[in-house]
Structure 1
Amino acid sequence: MSVESAASPLRYKRLAYVALNVSDLARSTAFYRDLVGLSVSESCEAFVALRCSRDHHNLLLYRGRQPGIKRVGFELDSVAELATARRELEALGLSVEALSKEELKALRTVDALRFRLPGCGLCIELLVQMMHMAEPYRPTVSKIERLGHVVLNVRDFQAAMDWLCGKLGFRVSDLVPEFAAFLRCHPNPLHHSFAILAGAEDHLNHINFMVTDIDDIGCAMNRIKKAGVEVVFGPGRHQPSESIFLYFQDPDGMTVEYSFGMEKFPEFGAREARLLEPVPATLDSWGSVPAPGFGKTGRIETPA
């Protein structure tokens, strides 16, 4: 299996936010605020916006019948790049949705577009210039550095790879052949902002928040256990990205990860992607084993 990424005019600044559907908006808001450590920046009829940065939001919670992922937002550098992205996506035969002025205003974003990843149907938003809040994000229970990444299970692994890397400009950092691909949104330097795993169904595997201190991992494990939250994997260390991790479940059973540390790549002259062995030690060199509920809950919202 090739790990090469085709040249693409799409240039990603970062993973900006994730939108989740939750069954109980108040319960999930309290969880992500009080146990995970995000700050609520806005609560309106349509959604609750939470942040771990100066951005208006890094996580949006919507009330939904089935828990899962609603969409993922990646930020580009400029409005001009967004126009280039629109032309490129339409040339690829994708249906591109323009956001209304009302929704852009509600999302505190200058401009954005949306399309769906063929196969799994994930809604991806490309945006520019999200509003920065006057007050900086102030860490509470954990020193969160940023929203780190999103991981999906996909039924057609190779088709997803062909789209993400062959057409949409993601770069492979590490690959477990026919099982897992860790992808960076080039030229963002983080080892991965998006990843896919082979699975029997298309669904969310987990979302990640990166912390600034290894003590945040240990403190989080004790904090969430005292709150009756299940730890479903870790603590441990990933061979890909070299990060120390802890996975636990939100009130709907969706998997959330804290991680500390991550390999970074230069825009030019980066190392080649590694082919990693498909064994448990690749995912955790410390030897922990995922619980049955790890990465199992999280429907991908698709059009009715």
Structure 2
Amino acid sequence: MIDHNPLWGAELDHIRLDTADPSKTAAFYRDAFAMSEKSLADGSTLLQGEERRLIVGSGIAGDQPYSAFRFADETRLAAYRAHLTAQGMNLMPSPTPLFSDGAFAVSDPDGRQMVFGVIDPAQDNGGSPEGHPPHPPGRMQHVVVATADLAAMMAFYEDTLGFVATDHVLRDDEDGGQTLTAVFYRSTREHHSFAMFLSDAARPDHHAYEVSCWNDIRDWADHMATLEIKLWWGPGRHGPGNNLFFMVEDPDGYKVEISAELENMADDDPVRQWPHNERSLNLWGPGWMRV
């Protein structure tokens, strides 16, 4: 299955976050995550650090209109475009200025765009921002959304786009049945690059930066402390993914995660099942229960 999956190898490159106060939000990400700040032609702001970047734009506070996944080269991108076209997908122009010509977008059942492309070398500085002291690594690695229609979203992301399910979270119901409350998806060997949680409405959930080890978690937490940014959740260890983590909130209350030691999966690993409880979400303590 993996060998013939045209999505396989695509990695999260960046996301866009909208806010009613772009200057305040951009300053938060610049300082909290050691990124440089650059104005783009459309009035949005590019925040960029070593292996991490995001775009902050003007709009509804806390909205996350698209996630952009990169392919290694134009050949892989063209094969994926052909795969989606053969399924009758409506391919839309790419909304991001950070990918080369040939990038495109598709809309999921909740109206959020997924963008696929190849990095535009002119927009890739790839290094630490000037004026910031060296920081631990922090590679943008996964993005998560909440949805009220898990079945439709699963069909789209699995059957149409080709994301591979890694873990399911299941809630025991009073009638003896079970309700699926979360799905974790991979597009590389890393446990997940995308995930979705059942909720009462479609909304953004969080995105994450992957670091190398527990000491990096400590150093990033110390960095947050110097800025008087309180940890919102953690430190802890997730069940699905087995990764160490903590989360903070941006000025709009959107959650951002620092993660370490995310599990790597074998190509033929079957989908695993986890119970819907706090311990699955955090083996060490309280969990963030969406439903």
User: Shared topology, TM-score over 0.5?
Assistant: yes
Deviation, 1:246, is 0.6
Aligned mates of 2:194, 2:26 — CA distance in 1: 24
Contact 1:148 1:209 in 2 (8 A): yes
Secondary structure of 2:119's counterpart equals: strand
Alignment-mate amino acid for residue 255 of structure 1 = K
Which of 25, 29, 36 lines up with 2:26 in the alignment? 29
Alignment-mate amino acid for residue 273 of structure 1 = V
TM-score by length of 1: 0.81
Partner of 1:96: 91
* Structure 1: runs of 5+ lacking an equivalent: 297-304
Partner of 1:302: none
Deviation, 1:58, is 2.3
Contact 1:6 1:167 in 2 (8 A): no
Q: Tell me how many residue pairs correspond in the alignment.
A: 278
Secondary structure of 1:81's counterpart equals: helix
Deviation, 1:108, is 5.1
Aligned mates of 2:191, 2:198 — CA distance in 1: 19
Q: Deviations over 1:223-268 (max 9, x none)?
A: 43564534321111001111111111001111111111111134x4
Alignment-mate amino acid for residue 94 of structure 1 = M
Deviation, 1:219, is 4.0
Aligned mates of 2:153, 2:84 — CA distance in 1: 15
Q: Structure 1 residues 122, 244: CA separation in 2 closer, same or farther (over 3 Å shift)? A: same
Q: Structure 1 residues 92, 30: CA separation in 2 closer, same or farther (over 3 Å shift)? A: same
Which of 134, 151, 159 lines up with 2:144 in the alignment? 151
Aligned mates of 1:192, 1:134 — CA distance in 2: 26
Alignment-mate amino acid for residue 43 of structure 1 = S
Q: Structure 1 residues 141, 33: CA separation in 2 closer, same or farther (over 3 Å shift)? A: farther
Which of 179, 182, 185 lines up with 1:180 in the alignment? 182
Aligned mates of 1:19, 1:222 — CA distance in 2: 27
Partner of 2:110: 120
Aligned mates of 1:68, 1:52 — CA distance in 2: 22
Partner of 1:38: 35
Q: Which has the higher contact order (CA 8 A, sep 6+)?
A: 1
Deviation, 1:70, is 1.7
Question: How high is the sequence identity, in percent, across the aligned residues?
Answer: 25
Secondary structure of 2:118's counterpart equals: strand
Aligned mates of 2:240, 2:167 — CA distance in 1: 6
Q: How does 1:242-257 map to 2 (within 5 A)?
A: 242-257=242-257
Q: How does 1:110-259 map to 2 (within 5 A)?
A: 110-117=101-108, 119-131=109-121, 133=124, 136-137=127-128, 140=133, 142-177=135-170, 178-185=180-187, 188-225=188-225, 227-259=227-259
Contact 2:138 2:258 in 1 (8 A): no
Q: Deviations over 1:198-217 (max 9, x none)?
A: 11100101011112232333
Aligned mates of 1:192, 1:215 — CA distance in 2: 22
Contact 1:53 1:136 in 2 (8 A): yes
Contact 1:23 1:64 in 2 (8 A): yes
Which of 77, 81, 93 lines up with 2:76 in the alignment? 81
Q: Structure 1 residues 172, 5: CA separation in 2 closer, same or farther (over 3 Å shift)? A: farther
Aligned mates of 2:15, 2:241 — CA distance in 1: 21
Q: Structure 1 residues 158, 232: CA separation in 2 closer, same or farther (over 3 Å shift)? A: same
Deviation, 1:222, is 4.8
Contact 1:150 1:193 in 2 (8 A): yes
Alignment-mate amino acid for residue 153 of structure 1 = A
Q: C-alpha root-mean-square deviation of aligned residues, in Å?
A: 2.8
Deviation, 1:165, is 1.3
Q: Deviations over 1:84-131 (max 9, x none)?
A: 3233323333321134xxx77x435243001101x2111011101332
Q: Structure 1 residues 257, 273: CA separation in 2 closer, same or farther (over 3 Å shift)? A: same
TM-score by length of 2: 0.84
* Structure 2: runs of 5+ lacking an equivalent: 171-179
Deviation, 1:274, is 1.1
Contact 1:114 1:124 in 2 (8 A): yes
Aligned mates of 2:55, 2:284 — CA distance in 1: 33
